[in-house]
């Protein structure tokens, strides 16, 4: 079965890993959740064991929903006697987006009406509404005229663990605390004998969650106790009880082996009182050492290694004091210099105020508040950073300020879309003519790399000035992103006979794993002019992924096969990738394999795309064609996109199935599409503006793009 597990924004990829570890056969990240393929027992296991999930939603019905009447009819088409007793209780949570139905409470009411009316017509009786502890809690999701109705298997939000007796002024949800601990690699650190420290512990959420995690206590046990999470008639009670028995035995063993390596402090005695009450409710108070102490008075814990984790004040209710963050960073560097650190900061400025060297920053949402999760391999800065920093030059300061401005501008978009690889600067200051792209690894190390590509300078600019300006760009970028020089790839222009060209590339053979949407991809920043991932095509690839389910996809001039990967993870029935280069096809094969997309359904063809098209007899539902501007390969005829595009597109359209779509793109700035030469076989729409992402808005002609239909 396919079902959906929701979570807070920013936790999707952690949740994917957790569900796969629990036994899901497939888990794919979506916005604020994960699409899962597994059996019902895995769904129950997620209700019981997931530390990150908000809800586990088991689908009942999906239908077109253009208006209120369609919503009522779609719900009424379900036989509700199979799901709820007539004397039972129900509740409906609704999430709507669109113009026809705009209010969630109204949508929930119409769902309830359809169910109640069906029971009343059939039996003369009706179930009651109980919004707190219903027998059946339903979840309605309505978007773009399509409704999905699901059972909430956990009966409500799974972040509640059942132990919170008291809470502080701004409590952290337990599943967010678990995410912070996992980002800090707490299970591994505990297994290696390390400790856990929260120097500003508040009501103790992070420490208690960490102790229960170390004791192998299933989060759902205390939440539900001996009661069922739902009394849905389709619920397998025997399977649930079997899982609970297994979890209780694991808890018995885990609690007996739990070590007292947990240390909490807070300057407020009331917070420590609340933390102790919560720890007692969770039956792990004996393992945690609580103390009333300011962060400035933090003492070194007895363990040599461990994880320092903290959620300092940062929202509108609790004043965010940059000085307090500085004190926190100083205290950790002094008391726990060799410990890992994970700090939830209100924004980038507060993260920088800690003075800690970040190995990775994550966008993180604490409710509606967008935050920065700062992770550090060690609180102590590397030895080479202890030397006094050389101040930035005036030019480098200008670049740094512009970079910070751009990051603020892109912050909300990046968090909303889960963007980890993006363009941060594109010759914003004309005299500093370069592009700066950011690539963040999708690995435990999660290092950030920069790709700096110099643009050709005017002939009247002395080469010495160009070199100086490029150096200032690199220096500013390294400081803003806190990236060492060895993690910055630089592509420089060299003047010579025949005009300006890029110099020799490095030969490091270093591939990084990055993420784009649901796909993981291999990129190489140092060895090639292009990295293997054209960032400006990100929205077009997302469109392909959204359209690909069940379709046959063809990728012409496939390069590293990124579009093929996006189509594959989007559910394409098959993918065919055509490129003349064996090296690029191997890169595409590696990308497909990285995402579990192997076998005969994913074909790789080494051929000249034009010749292959004219010989091919198969048909495809979705085609992506992104040819180079020019090509003079020794293994194929010379290619000029302006000269050959009509022949190319007519050949591609001949392979397009009825109702199919062809996306044609290129980056030749002076390109003109000859629509009249294609008018007899194609409907053509210019979608270029729709495919330019926010990080490329300064350069809207970075590529041109059209949608063609037969």
Residue 320: per-residue pLDDT: 56
Backbone φ and ψ of 676, nearest 5°: -65, -30
Residue 224: per-residue pLDDT: 78
Q: What are the residue ranges of CATH 3.30.750.80 in the chain?
A: 391-502
The SS3 call for residue 49 is helix
Q: Compute the C-alpha angle 342/344/346, nearest 5°.
A: 150
Q: What are the residue ranges of CATH 3.30.2130.30 in the chain?
A: 2-152
CB half-sphere exposure, 184, CA atoms < 13 A: 32
Contacts of 514 (CB under 8 A, 6+ apart): 420, 421, 439, 440, 441, 442, 520, 521, 523, 533
Backbone φ and ψ of 448, nearest 5°: -100, 130
CB half-sphere exposure, 540, CA atoms < 13 A: 31
CB half-sphere exposure, 320, CA atoms < 13 A: 15
Question: What CATH class has 534-709?
Answer: alpha beta
| Backbone CA torsion sign across 625, 628, 631, 635 | negative
Yes or no: say if 462 and 375 are a contact pair by the CB < 8 Å rule: no
Q: What are the residue ranges of CATH 3.40.50.150 in the chain?
A: 174-215+258-385, 534-709
Contacts of 369 (CB under 8 A, 6+ apart): 314, 315, 346
Adjacent-strand bridge partners of 152: 57
Closest residue by Cα to residue 483 from 475, 493, 472, 494: 475
Count of CB atoms situated within 10 Å of the CB of 412: 12
- Chain-centroid distance, C-alpha 206: 23
Cβ-based burial of 82 (10 A; exposed 0-12, middle 13-18, buried ≥19): exposed
Backbone φ and ψ of 315, nearest 5°: -100, -170
Contacts of 338 (CB under 8 A, 6+ apart): 304, 305, 378, 379, 380
Yes or no: say if 489 and 472 are a contact pair by the CB < 8 Å rule: no
Characterize 358-389 residue by residue with b for buried, 16 or more Cβ atoms within 10 angstroms of its Cβ, and e for exposed.
bbbbbbbbbeeebbbbbbbbbbbeeeeeeeee
Residue 168: per-residue pLDDT: 53
Residue 505: per-residue pLDDT: 52
CATH, domain range 174-215+258-385:
3.40.50.150
Listed in order, strand segments (DSSP E) in 12-78 are 26-30, 33-37, 55-64
Yes or no: say if 378 and 335 are a contact pair by the CB < 8 Å rule: no
Residue 361: per-residue pLDDT: 87
Residue 445: per-residue pLDDT: 67
Residue 355: per-residue pLDDT: 87
- Integer Cα distance of 561 and 566 in angstroms: 9
- Integer Cα distance of 142 and 140 in angstroms: 6
Tokens of 238: 């025997």
Q: What is the pTM of this model?
A: 0.60
Yes or no: say if 420 and 14 are a contact pair by the CB < 8 Å rule: no
Residue 337: per-residue pLDDT: 93
What architecture (CATH level 2) is domain 2-152? Answer: 2-Layer Sandwich (3.30)
Residues of the chain below pLDDT 50: 316-319, 386-387, 495-500, 502-504
Question: What CATH class has 391-502?
Answer: alpha beta
Closest residue by Cα to residue 37 from 51, 23, 47: 23
- The pLDDT tens digits for 25-45 are 899 998 889 999 999 999 999
What is the largest distance, in Å, between two alpha-carbon atoms of the chain? 91
Yes or no: say if 103 and 96 are a contact pair by the CB < 8 Å rule: yes
HEC secondary structure over 539-604 = HHHHHHHHHCCCCEEEEECCCCCHHHHHHHHCCCCEEEEEECCHHHHHHHHHHHHHCCCCCCCEEE
Characterize 640-677 residue by residue with b for buried, 16 or more Cβ atoms within 10 angstroms of its Cβ, and e for exposed.
ebeebbeebbbbbbebbeeebbbbbbbbbeeeebeeee
């Amino acid at each position: 079965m396919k079902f959906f597990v929701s979570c807070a924004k920013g936790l999707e990829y952690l949740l994917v890993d957790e569900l796969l570890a629990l036994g899901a056969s497939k888990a794919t990240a979506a916005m604020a959740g994960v699409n899962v393929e597994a059996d019902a027992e895995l769904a129950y296991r997620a209700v019981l064991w997931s530390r990150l999930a908000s809800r586990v939603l088991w689908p009942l019905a999906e239908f077109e929903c253009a208006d209120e009447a369609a919503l009522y009819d779609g719900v009424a088409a379900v036989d509700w006697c199979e799901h709820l007793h007539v004397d039972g209780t129900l509740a409906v949570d609704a999430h709507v987006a669109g113009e026809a139905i705009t209010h969630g409470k109204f949508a929930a009411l119409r769902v309830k009406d359809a169910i109640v009316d069906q029971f009343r017509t059939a039996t003369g009786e009706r179930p009651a509404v109980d919004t707190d502890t219903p027998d059946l809690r339903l979840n309605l999701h309505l978007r773009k005229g399509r409704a999905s109705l699901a059972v909430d298997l956990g009966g409500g939000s799974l972040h509640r663990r059942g132990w919170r007796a008291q809470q502080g002024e701004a409590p952290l949800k337990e599943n967010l605390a678990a995410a912070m601990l996992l980002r800090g690699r707490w299970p591994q650190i505990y297994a290696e004998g390390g400790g856990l420290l929260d120097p500003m512990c508040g009501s103790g959420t992070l420490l208690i969650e960490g102790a229960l995690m170390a004791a192998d206590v299933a989060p759902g046990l205390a939440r539900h106790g001996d009661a069922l999470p739902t009394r849905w008639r389709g619920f397998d009670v025997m399977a649930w009880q079997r899982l609970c028995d297994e979890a209780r035995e694991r808890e018995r063993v885990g609690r007996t082996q739990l070590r007292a390596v947990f240390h909490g402090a807070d300057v407020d005695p009331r917070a420590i009182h609340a933390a102790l009450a919560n720890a007692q409710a969770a039956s792990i108070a004996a393992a945690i050492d609580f103390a009333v102490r300011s962060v400035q008075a933090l003492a070194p814990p007895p363990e040599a290694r461990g994880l320092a984790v903290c959620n300092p004040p940062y929202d509108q209710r609790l004043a965010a004091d940059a000085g307090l963050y500085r004190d926190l960073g100083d205290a950790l560097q002094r008391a726990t210099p060799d410990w890992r650190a994970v700090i939830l900061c209100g924004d980038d400025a507060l993260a920088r105020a800690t003075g800690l060297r970040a190995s990775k920053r994550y966008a993180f949402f604490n409710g509606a508040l967008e935050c920065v999760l700062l992770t550090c391999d060690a609180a102590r800065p590397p030895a080479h950073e202890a030397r006094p920093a050389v101040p930035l030059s005036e030019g480098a300061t200008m670049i740094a300020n512009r970079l910070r401005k751009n990051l603020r501008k892109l912050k909300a978009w990046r968090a909303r879309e889960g963007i980890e690889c993006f363009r941060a600067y594109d010759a914003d200051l004309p005299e500093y003519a370069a592009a700066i792209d950011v690539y963040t690894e999708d690995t435990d190390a999660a290092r950030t790399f920069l790709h700096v590509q110099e643009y050709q300078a005017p002939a009247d600019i002395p080469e010495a000035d160009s070199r100086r300006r490029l150096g200032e760009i690199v220096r500013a970028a390294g400081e803003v992103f806190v990236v060492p020089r060895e993690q910055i790839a630089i592509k420089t222009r060299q003047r010579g006979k025949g005009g300006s060209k890029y110099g020799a590339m490095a030969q490091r053979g270093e591939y990084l794993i990055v993420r784009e949407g649901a796909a993981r991809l291999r990129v190489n920043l140092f060895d090639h002019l292009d990295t293997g991932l054209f960032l400006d095509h990100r929205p077009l690839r997302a469109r392909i992924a959204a359209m690909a389910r069940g379709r046959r996809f063809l990728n012409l001039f496939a390069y590293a096969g990124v579009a093929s990967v996006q189509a594959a993870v989007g559910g394409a029935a098959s993918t065919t990738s055509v490129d003349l280069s064996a090296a690029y096809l191997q890169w595409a094969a590696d990308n497909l394999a990285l995402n579990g997309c192997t076998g005969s359904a994913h074909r790789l063809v080494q051929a000249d795309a034009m010749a292959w098209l004219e010989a091919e007899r198969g048909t495809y539902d979705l085609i992506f064609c992104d040819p180079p501007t020019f090509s003079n390969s020794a293994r194929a005829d010379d290619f000029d996109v302006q000269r050959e595009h009509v022949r190319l597109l007519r050949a591609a359209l001949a392979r397009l199935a009825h109702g199919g779509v062809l996306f044609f793109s290129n980056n030749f700035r002076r390109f003109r599409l000859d629509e009249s030469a294609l008018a007899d076989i194609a409907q053509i729409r210019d979608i270029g503006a729709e495919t330019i992402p926010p990080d490329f808005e300064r350069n809207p002609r970075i590529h041109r793009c059209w949608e063609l239909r037969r």
